Structure formats: C-alpha cells, structure tokens
Structure 1
Amino acid sequence: MKVRRAPGWLTALALFLVCPGTSVSSEYASGETQATEYRLWYRNYDSPPIRALVALAFDKTPEYGSYRITRTLEMAQGRVVRELERQQSGLVDIANVATSNQREESLRAIPIPIDGGLLGLRVCVVLKDSLPRFKGIRNLGNLQESGVRIGQGAHWPDASILQANGVNVVTHSRYEILFRMLENHRFECFARGVSEVLFDLELENNEDFVIEPDLLLAYPMPSYFFVNRHDHETAHRLQLGMERAIFDGSFGAYLNQYYGQAIDELNLHSRNVLVLDNPYLTDESWAIGSRTLLELRRRIRKLSAPKKASHSNPKS
C-alpha cells in the first residue's frame, strides 16, 4: 500500500531523535462545540506519549477543525484491529500498533514510525530472581539454547517474529495478564519496547520487576498509526500533521521529551545486541524499518562516544 509521504522525512526523523526541544502541546480539545471526536484505542490513550502525538498532529492541522480525543472501551489488540477493519466501527477510529504486511493490507497505515524506531528495540522485564538465567547469553543461538521463554501478546507481530527466529514464546491476548504470568513464572522475559518499558514499570509499581541489564533484541518493526482503510480524512490529517511537525522541529522535541530518557537510562549503547529478522513486513515498511533501525543505532553510538577534551593554546 502506497501512502503519500514527504521526501526525506525518514532522514529528518532520525536526525531529530536526539535533538533538544520544547514540550509539545497538551491541549486535546478546543472550546468549540462542534469538535470532531476521534476515538483512540485505550492502550494508546493511556500512554502519554502516544496521546500527545495525536494531539500534536491535530494541532498542526487547524484547517480540519477542532477535535476531541476520547478513550475507547478496553479491548485486546486483536479486537481493535478487527474493529478498525470494519468500515463503520462504533468503537475506535485510531490505533497505534506495530505494522505487518497483513495489517497494511487490511487497514490504512500512516507510515511514519511514531517513536523513531524504538519499538523494534526490546529489553527484558524479568523477576529479580530470574536474572542468573540470562548470564552467558551473547547471541541468538545462546538465547535459543538457554530455555528462556519470552512472553508476548497473542496478536502482537513480535510473537510471530520471535517464533520465526527460533525463540520460545508464551502468549496471552491481554497485555495486563502478561505481567501476572511473569509473576507466576510462566515465562522468564517479558520483552518490551524501549519506548514503552519505563512507563510500563511505573504503572506496575512492583519491586520484583527489573530490567535485564545486558541484552537488547533488535529487529525492524515500525510502529504506525492505523485507521480504517476508507477513513481518508483522519489518515490525511494525521499524516499531514506529523509531516508538518517533522519539518518545523516539534516532532524532534516530542521524541526528545518522551523517549530521550529511555535511551539514557537503559544504557542502550553498552548492551549486547541480538539482531533478529522480521519476515512479516511489506517491502516499503521493511525499508523504512531497516533504515530507521540503522540510523537509530548509529545515533545511539554517537551519543555514547566519549567526548574529546578540548585543548586550548593561549597565546603567551
């Protein structure tokens, strides 16, 4: 599926990833009475970065009128995708999920990775007493042989990606239940995106959950906004707003505000990277995901490089 895209946005996105900036607007509805309602999947609505990005895109497109972002009923990812496939769903208008060839065939994607590619970088949330299980894992073969089981959502593309790479995966349809399964030793690693894991742990507030310090799973997996394939107006507004935000610098400010902390706190530059293949992307999204992942890793290395001491040569 081809969606109009401004030339060179991917390079701009990668460059903006670590640029300092100001906070984005937190105003989600204007005072006008005829505001258009956009129903955002509850998991996205409850995530401050994702809700803020929808608002940023809408703030950049005032010609479409005022808006109101509302929270959907709680539903699993598989169901929200099925609802978006319906031409007149009464439950949801927008969802941010990882892309796949099947999703791009049945839905309309706005092909701009909302977090600069961080969703394709995954760390393990583990129980403290399980940390010794990860010692000695240095490559994909070690992971396959270790017996470590990774928990993932049943309808998440990650589950199929991990299985295609020979990893032992345990699934459940509900995100919240996966944390309870981790507590009950149903698996050893709940693989979470770098862009979401700190927020997850803040919500869970469980001292037994820690982030495994050495491993980083990496695969191209862009995370897009999706709408019904016939909902051209919402798709156009989201894409135009995000493109404007990229080129005026506010998207870079957004990325830095919400995701810059994760890059620092998770020590991505010092982790052992296990690169996995993702065979479930369209050609376009594979190119976007691969280039974004490459740029992201390059920027992380550049950030972590020791700065050379400046030497002054004052005149005598």
Structure 2
Amino acid sequence: MVARIRLIHRYLPGFVLALCLSLPALAMSVESEDERTFILWYRNYDNPAIRSLVELALAKTSEYGDFKLVRSEELSQGRVLRELANNNHRLVDIANVATTAEREEFLNPIPLPVDGGLLGFRVCLVLPKHLPQFEGVQNIDDLTSRKIRIGQGSHWPDTPILEANGLQVVTHTRYEILFGMLRNERFECFARGVGEVLFDLEHNRADDLVIEPNILFAYPMPSYLFVAPNDQEAAHRLQLGIERAIKDGSFAVYLKRWFGRAVTELRLEQRKVIALENPYLSEESMYVGRHTLENLRRRLDYLSQIASPD
C-alpha cells in the first residue's frame, strides 16, 4: 500500500490542482460481464460531486464489467469506517473521507485527492448575529481570546487537528445534528470544506445561516476514496479510472464543474489564511498536504481561472 502511494509521489509534478499526473496503470485486466453493485456511503452519494467522481472512475474502467452505484444506509462516519475495516460489503463498499495515518493502515486507500486538496481549506458557517465576533480575526490567538468555538463531527479527523492547534471544539456523531447545534449556539463556527459549504447551504435548509466572509483555515488534509482491506479489485479499478480521467482531461472538467464555483463565490484569494498544523498524517500524505499549502496561491489562481466562463 505504501509502495503504491510512493509510486504516485514519484510522478507528482509540483502537485498543482489539475493533478496532471502521468501514472502507470496499476490495475490488472479483469474480464467480467457480471454487473457489480457498489454501495457508496450515503454522505458521499448525496453529494453530487463525489458521486460523479466515483461514477466517472467506474465508467472509465469498462474492462471490469458493468456497475451499479447505490446509496448506503445512514451510517455515521465512525461506523462506516468500522464496517469498511471489517470488510462488511453488505453495508458499504466505498467511502470518501479525509485521510489519516491510521485510516491508511486499516483501510485500502486510493491515494489521489478527490477535490485536488481543497478539504483542508475551510470556512466558517455561522449565525448572522455572530458575524461581528469574527471581524478583524488574524490568527489562532484572536479566535481563542474571543471564545470562538468550532463545531465538528466526533469521528472527523479535523477535530484532533483543531484541538492540537489550541482551538476549542464541540462535537457530535451526526453531521445533520451539528446544524441544529450551531443554531442553538453550542458553538460559533461550523468549519466546512470550501468544496462542501455551498452544498451544505443548498441542501440542508440553511437559509438562516451565512458563510463568514474573511477567514480561511488551511491545513494539510487530503481527501481519498477508501475501500475495504480485502477489496483489491475495487481499489485498482477506482485508481485506474481516476488516472485515466486525469490523463484524458475529464478530471479537470470535473474539478471545474464542482469546485471552481466555490473559489469564485467564497473569494478565497481575498481571505486571511490561518495556517494550522496536522500531526496525524502518514509521511506520504503529509508530502501531499504540504505541497497543497505551499502552492495555495497558485491553486487558488488556477481554480479562479477554470471557474471563469468558457
């Protein structure tokens, strides 16, 4: 598994957002006319960006046979990772989550960031009346002195990252419950990935919430697809499919469609960047994450360009 990740890094040309990799195909030829049903974690299935990437990868690998993608039961992130680790294909086959060294150890990662590394760039979803509390914030000390608490999922890797950087974090096991906790003022900032927050507002009846306009949290945290440890065929198929999409340009089209809008509407290039450390990555994923942050300005410029009308 580590060798597979290192092979990818050997071909990483600066890790710009387009991820224009030239990777050798890793998947063995699989001849099958049987249709396989893949169960995608419901949070990813309900997110059209992630679902479309999984469908793109599977469609690019027709030699593996036909496929059907279905929605999983509504499992918490902690539960879905346990079921994947236990090879429980009755409940889930594929999940997209942020990576950690531990997750790469007990699951089977496809080590290509699904959003080009944007998950580690986060903005605050807030109540409008709390906006003045964020005015003029420049650093972590400002956040702590103003008693700004961050809402996150109990099993999300962001939680220990934020805590390790001295921030106060309030958690719950269910993503949906966190919106109510924000409304009930259990915390002031629901930190969401820049590729997630617009979807959150549009699909969670969140017209009473707003996106704080000036702060951008940035920390290395690549987001991978994961499959069960015993499911080498799915791992090879998904990786090969994404590699083919990168090579033929359809991955760049995917990025433009699903993430270009966020850079434009969130004005990321104008925000105050608060950089945080992530001590929980594997050596290989830390390499990816560090290059993500080092190339932040270039990445934002690139996304701004691909977000422009054709």
TM over 0.5: yes
Unaligned runs of 5+ in 1: 19-31, 306-316
Code of the residue aligned with 2:16 in structure 1: it is A
Matched, 1:144 2:113: no
User: Given that residues 116 and 296 in structure 1 are in contact (C-alpha distance below 8 angstroms), is that contact kept between their aligned partners in structure 2?
Assistant: no
Q: What secondary structure does 2:2 align onto?
A: coil
The residue number in structure 2 matching 1:262 is 262
Inter-partner Cα distance in structure 2 for 1:250 and 1:46: 21
Q: How does 1:95-134 map to 2 (within 5 A)?
A: 95-134=95-134
- Letter paired with 2:13: T
Deviations for 1:40-62, whole angstroms, at most 9, x for unmatched residues?
00000000000000011011111
Q: Which amino acid is 2:163 matched to?
A: Q
Compute the displacement of 1:299 (Å): 2.9
TM-score scaled by length of structure 1: 0.88
TM-score, scaled relative to structure 2: 0.89
Residue 99 of structure 1 and its aligned partner are, at CA, apart by: 0.5
SS of 1:255's equivalent? helix
State the secondary structure of the residue aligned to 2:171. Answer: strand
Q: Secondary structure at 1:251's aligned position in 2?
A: helix
Compared with structure 1, are the counterparts of its residues 196 and 151 closer, same or farther at alpha carbon in structure 2 (3 Å cutoff)?
A: same
The question of whether the paired residues in 2 share the 8 Å contact of 1:39 and 1:91 is answered with yes
Counterpart contact for 1:127–1:208, Cα < 8 Å: yes
**Is residue 137–residue 146 contact of structure 1 (8 Å, CA) maintained in 2?**
no
Aligned-partner residue type, residue 16 of structure 1 = A
Paired with 1:258 and 1:178, the residues of 2 have a C-alpha distance of: 24
Task: Report the equivalent of 1:311.
Answer: none
Check whether the contact 1:35–1:66 (CA below 8 A) recurs between aligned residues. Answer: yes
Question: Is residue 122–residue 218 contact of structure 2 (8 Å, CA) maintained in 1?
Answer: yes
* C-alpha separation in 2, matches of 1:193 and 1:60: 27
Cα shift at 1:266: 0.3
- Within-5 A mapping of 1:1-316: 1-4=1-4, 5-6=7-8, 10-11=12-13, 14-16=16-18, 34-301=34-301
Q: Is the 8 A contact 2:57 2:242 kept in 1?
A: yes
Q: Distance in 2 between matches of 1:297 and 1:123?
A: 16
What is the CA distance between 1:102 and its match in structure 2? 0.9
Q: For 1:199-251, what per-residue CA distance to the aligned partner results, in whole angstroms no more than 9, with x for missing partners?
A: 00001233220000000000000000001112100000000110111111110
- The gaps in structure 2 that reach 5 residues or longer are 21-31, 306-310
Asked whether the 8 Å contact 1:150–1:169 carries over to 2, the reply is: yes
Is the alpha carbon distance of 1:111 and 1:302 closer, same or farther for their aligned partners in structure 2, counting shifts above 3 Å? Answer: closer
Instruction: Give distance in 2, aligned partners of 1:124 and 1:57.
Output: 31
Letter of the 2:148 counterpart: V
Q: What is the match of residue 308 of structure 1?
A: none
Rounded Cα–Cα distance in structure 1 between residues aligned with 2:3 and 2:250:
22
Q: Secondary structure at the match of 1:201?
A: helix
Deviations 1:4-35 (A, max 9, x none): 345665438625279xxxxxxxxxxxxx9931
Aligned residues with identical type, % of pairs: 57
Contact 1:97 1:224 in 2 (8 A): yes
> Equivalents in 1 of 2:111, 2:184: separation in Å?
38
TM-superposition CA deviations, 1:147-177 (whole Å, max 9, x none): 0000000000000100000000000000000
**Which deviates the most, 139-148 or 164-173?**
139-148
Q: Deviations over 1:86-143 (max 9, x none)?
A: 0344200000000011111110111100000110000000000010111121012211
Counterpart of 1:161 in 2: which secondary structure? helix
Contact 1:17–1:256 under 8 Å retained in 2: no
Distance 1:248 1:12 in 2: 19
Displacement of 1:297: 2.9
Q: Distance in 2 between matches of 1:13 and 1:176?
A: 33
2:234 & 2:198 partners in 1: Cα distance?
30
| Structure 1 partner of 2:25 | none
Q: Secondary structure at the match of 2:16?
A: helix
Query: Is the contact between residue 117 and residue 293 of structure 1 (CA under 8 Å) also seen in structure 2?
Result: no
- Counterpart-to-counterpart distance in 2, 1:159 and 1:34: 42
